[in-house]
Amino acid sequence: MTTIATLFPKVYLVKPFVHFDERGSFSEHFVDQNFTNAVGRKIHFCQDNLTHSKRGVLRGLHYQLPPFSQSKLVSVLQGTVLDLVVDIRKGSPTFGQYFSQELSAENQLQLFIPRGFAHGYITLSETSIFQYKVDNYYNPQSEGSIRPDDPTLAIDWQLPKDEWIQSKKDQNHPTLSEAPLFDFKDDLYV
């Protein structure tokens, strides 16, 4: 596996090695030791989640507040999504900035998102299967969220808003300035 730097230190694109032959392909999607070496620290993932979505489904921007904050390793098993992270660490030099990347079954890129970042994605293909690992269990009282159409973020989701399909809950998120956020601390990465 190789890692590719992004706009944010400690947020990485991860590319597994893929072996092709006349039968198709094989890759080791996740190997704990290789991942630890790639990101420079041990992450104990405790749960895998799958979502199935149709074109235009926008999920996010979500996060968990301490002490239930989560790091995520996300990938796409079918289709194509625009995946996006926003730095929500007050005091960070990159606070309020975002990084986006198309993830697809074809490019097999994964995105590692440490604690302190909001995360969301939109399905660009007809359907998608999205997989993500988390290193902490979901806690409803620690849930945080930001409107994906917050004008201060000015995110280009690649599909017009009238094509978005969102849950009622996701339609009512606060803006970045209204949301509970993280304080910038290096220990968020531990």
CB atoms within 10 A of CB 78: 14
SS3 111: strand
Active site residue 62: yes
Written as six digits, the tokens of 118 are 């909001």
Q: Which of 62, 98, 121, 173 is catalytic?
A: 62
12, 63, 132, 173: which is the annotated catalytic residue?
132
In order, the DSSP letters of 58-105 are EEEEEEE-TTS---EEEEEEESEEEEEEEE-EET-TTTT-EEEEEEET
β-bridge mates for residue 133, sequence order:
48, 73
CA distance 96 to 89: 8
Ramachandran sector of residue 43 (left: φ over 0; alpha: ψ -120 to 50; beta: rest):
beta
d(CA 163, CA 5): 31
Catalytic residues: 62, 132
